[in-house]
Chain A
Amino acid sequence: MIQVKVKKDAYYDSVFLMQVSQELNEIEGVTEAVVAMGTPHNKELLASRGFLDQALDCASANDLVVVVKGAGKGVFGRVWRRLEELLHPKCEAEETREFQAGSLDGALQGASGVNFALISLPGAYAGVEAKKALARGLHVMVFSDNVSLEEEVELKKYAQGKGLLLLGPDCGTAIIQGYPLGFANEVKRGNVGLVGAAGTGIQEVSTLIDRLGGGISHAIGTGGRDLSEEVGGLTMLQGIAALAKDPFTKVLVVISKPPSDSVAKKVVFALEASGKPAVVCFLGRSGGEEGKRVRFAETLEEAAFLAVVLGGGVSEQGKEDALGAKAAEEGKKLKEEQRYLRGLFSGGTLCAEALFLLSKKGITAWSNIHLDSKLKLVDLWKSRKHCLVDLGDDVFTVGRPHPMIDPTLRIERILREAEDPETAVLLLDIVLGYGAHPDPGGVLIPSIAKAKHEVEKRGGYLSVVASVTGTDQDPQVYSLQKEKLEKAGVAILPSNAQAALYAAMVLEKGQKI
């Protein structure tokens, strides 16, 4: 039985609603529950899943739509009660809660001195609000994606004209003056300034710098398209200029997927002009024309290491000699038919880094983020041969939160990979920090244990390799996450790059390549 409810003029954030949906789905007797705003897109989605109802047709983007499929006594009563509880949480501090304005201008009217706008609205509206915020003289970070490329260019030019910084759109991570914005980690303050077009890239580099004994002055996210030919690195160049003048920043680090040659040149030129030592990591591009001040790093880990050294820190690039032996030992437990590596990533940049490193080791893997169309995974729901999947792909995030928040998909996928007799090694990334799942490692452990058990029942062995992106100051605590996972039989490597290489070693020592 299906019941539909439309609440008129009741707007909620989509991420919040996904959490509500998830809670409703956990109620006994519910087979499917969807809670969403009545946008044309959501209505289409519902229709495509066979939910057709007159009430839905009339719903607008301002109306809350709830569709519940379920059976059993009193199930709908429970659902509607729970829904109300979730939508209207009893807040003890209600009395003391400040007045919340309903618009940007209203908020600015009531508060003087605001200088930064953080925007995580649906992409379709984010651009308009960002423009307004820029017009009011605020620096802006747009966390939202789905802002069109043309709008991005227009907004960035507008920001530049006003001498303001626009981080994003699709900027997941930033750290300004030590304050975490969006999905950021708790890292020590220091003398390394980052500018990155890759969210998890910034997270990986900043946490590695922290764990290597260095620190971050600021980390400026630019959004993933900033270094495209069309945008021309507008935000990155502004960011470099700002960090060049910043007295706390002694070393600059730039992180991005490989940009076009012309944009790359501009970026390197700006770094040279900054007068400060700099590290460039155009992920997967080996080397570049080294100038007086600019060094190139192939991996995020190398970038972090170079930055710490250039910043005057003394750091040994920690590589355990025993690793090879350990990998060999694991590799030997693999059965004949266990031949393949399966990577399940929540961070797109981390997936790209692993893909690059594996290919350098001669392991050709399929992936949904592969630039080579011949190796691009078409059916994302099914792995083939060596295979690295970025679970943050739009295909997976329609109607559910990003895998860094919601582990459901990865849990299912771990079990599915274990069913495949050819799976030898599982490679995972565990990303900590603000905004991420409260226990991203722990939540995977039951499925990892089950997967290992299933493979062992067949007489094989499942090697699980992971890295944890985070610090001990993060809410999830790096060392606790590491310990937990190691106890569950997961090999934890100090970086994503090392995890990928270790996974390759397991395969090699087992001579299964």
Chain B
Amino acid sequence: MRQDRLGNLLSAQLSVVNLGLEAFAEPLRRKGVRVVQVDWKPPAGGDQKLAQAVMEMREKRGEAIEKANQEAVERILSARPTLVGIGQALLDVPGMGKRMILHAGPPVTWERMCGPLRGGVIGGILYEGWARNPEEAVELAVSGEISFEPCHHHQAVGPMAGIITPSMPVWILENKTFGNKAFATLNEGLGKVLRYGAYSKEVIEKLKWMEETLAPVLTKGLSLRGEVDMKSLISQALQMGDEGHNRNRGGTSLLFRELCSAMVQSDAKREEISQVLDFLHGNDHFFLNLTMASAKCSMDPSAGIEYSSLIYCMARNGTDFGIRVSGLGDRWYTAPAPMVQGLYLPGFSEEDAAPDMGDSAITETYGIGGFAMAAAPAIVKFVGGSAKDALTTTRRMSEITLAENNAYQIPYLDFRGTPTGIDLLKVVETGILPAINTGIAHKEPGIGMVGAGLVKPPAACFLDAAHDFIIKYL
């Protein structure tokens, strides 16, 4: 066997993988030898000691890690996220306080909050009627009387600023396989909206309308329609050109179809039903919050598995980017939130942008969003402009993930499953960072959305987590 291998080199058809100088590939190719070029990056952000340690880890604990990761990813794939109803944050979200505001990302104090997150907090306070004007709202926020906590600490997720206040209506999702729940607010649409840090009168009025009209009408429809299997809807949406994060037109249309008849049949007022249907029709992103909560309740059971290097949460608050790793408990590993590489709405530029923000990266954590880019040719402008760039993005992500999804498929890639379950160790070994699609908020509070694009997470939080993982398990 051993000698055969040696002899094989001298007799079997040579087929080469080339790491480094591409010039070496050319003479081989000209002679008909297949050469696969690797677009290599230094592992572990150039930290050779860490790269070595990860390799040692694979050698010594490889089996335990693999087993734990299989378990973790199996939990994700077997999850059955289901829309069961709409509730109210104070009543339904676990641990929600009367004077509490939930926000996106890892924990952050008012002092460290970025502009749009502060804007969201101000808006939330005005919406709850705890203050009469923005100045008073700021005073209250500074006073320490309001507690700020991450959505993720309350089984919830929120896009961009991710503000959830006690009176807000929330989607209730249940993972039918494991029985755990997740919550998210209803999506307000684009433009001047709370989640992008706007808090003007029309923002608050819309939130009120959502509480008083939208949520009750949807609830009536839902109770007639019954529970909705989200996994099925999301997988259909991916085949309609959505990737589940920056494009939600397919998903929103599907939801509209699911609920329309039931709402019309309900005892809601005709005029209100019409308003609700118009709102859904005008808001392509309405489905996003449902997708996020589906992702959240699918990911949560994979937390806390010893030896698992699965990343079960990625979230940002505009100040910090944070990740949580299954085998490392509920600790956040954070690094400064990066800027988004994006396209801007007319009149805005990079100068206006706030750093990366929102819990919506839960979609990428779950194997859709940026990871399903190849399903969404309509928005390839975000990743470089060509459909090929979209394919590359998705295929790259399969190099840092544990499995291919069993339900979310990409037609163009012969219906291969989306890359699902990010492995912290693979991220470190390959130097490939998760590709995250996202919106861009204005850096000042009160202005709103200025663009959308793609963000590369900071390497530092992955490296820190890897350090701890090695200390704990090696």
**CB-CB nearest in chain B for A193:** B10
Contact partner, B396, options A106, A128, A182, Cβ 8 Å = A106
- B37-67 interface with A by 8 A CB criterion: 37-43, 45-46, 48, 51-52, 55
| Shortest CB distance A138–B (Å) | 7
Contact partner, B432, options A102, A118, A245, Cβ 8 Å = A102
> Are B430's CB and A103's CB within 8 A?
yes
Q: Is B28 an interface residue (CB 8 A)?
A: yes
> Are A113's CB and B15's CB within 8 A?
yes
Q: Is A45 an interface residue (CB 8 A)?
A: no
> Are B20's CB and A119's CB within 8 A?
yes
Q: Chain A residues near B10 (CB, 8 Å)? A: 176-177, 217-218, 242-243, 246, 248
| Shortest CB distance A112–B (Å) | 9
Q: Chain A residues near B395 (CB, 8 Å)? A: 99, 101, 106, 110
Q: Chain B residues near A243 (CB, 8 Å)? A: 10
> Are A163's CB and B6's CB within 8 A?
yes
> Are A102's CB and B4's CB within 8 A?
no
Q: Is B471 an interface residue (CB 8 A)?
A: no
Q: Chain B residues near A119 (CB, 8 Å)? A: 19-20
| Shortest CB distance B55–A (Å) | 6
- B1-45 interface with A by 8 A CB criterion: 1-28, 31, 33-34, 36-43, 45
Q: Chain A residues near B15 (CB, 8 Å)? A: 111, 113-116
Q: Chain A residues near B456 (CB, 8 Å)? A: 9
Q: Is A107 an interface residue (CB 8 A)?
A: yes
Tell me what chain B mostly uses at the interface: helix, strand, loop, or mixed. Answer: helix
Contact partner, B16, options A117, A124, A128, Cβ 8 Å = A117
> Are A118's CB and B9's CB within 8 A?
no
User: CA–CA, A238 to B5, complex, Å?
Assistant: 11
Q: Is B444 an interface residue (CB 8 A)?
A: no
**Contact status of A100 and B37, CB under 8 A, knowing A60-B45, A165-B6:** yes
Q: Chain B residues near A246 (CB, 8 Å)? A: 7, 10-11
Q: Chain B residues near A132 (CB, 8 Å)? A: 55
> Are A62's CB and B19's CB within 8 A?
no
Q: Chain A residues near B399 (CB, 8 Å)? A: 101-103, 105-106, 109
> Are B41's CB and A102's CB within 8 A?
yes
Q: Is A328 an interface residue (CB 8 A)?
A: no
| Shortest CB distance B300–A (Å) | 29
Contact partner, B19, options A11, A113, A120, Cβ 8 Å = A120
> Are A118's CB and B17's CB within 8 A?
yes
Question: What mask results when residues 88 to 110 of chain A are scored 1 for a CB within 8 Å of chain B, else 0?
Answer: 00000001000111111111111
> Are A180's CB and B27's CB within 8 A?
yes
| Shortest CB distance B222–A (Å) | 42
> Are A131's CB and B431's CB within 8 A?
no
Q: Is A61 an interface residue (CB 8 A)?
A: yes
Q: Is B261 an interface residue (CB 8 A)?
A: no
**CB-CB nearest in chain B for A39:** B46
Contact partner, B42, options A15, A118, A120, A125, Cβ 8 Å = A125
> Are A111's CB and B36's CB within 8 A?
yes
> Are A162's CB and B41's CB within 8 A?
no
User: CA–CA, A39 to B47, complex, Å?
Assistant: 10
User: CA–CA, A68 to B13, complex, Å?
Assistant: 47
> Could you name 12 residue pairs across A and B whose Cβ atoms are closer than 8 Å?
A11-B42, A62-B46, A99-B391, A106-B430, A111-B36, A114-B17, A116-B16, A118-B16, A118-B25, A181-B28, A218-B10, A434-B23
The 5 tightest CB contacts between A and B, nearest first, are: A61-B46, A163-B2, A120-B20, A106-B399, A103-B430
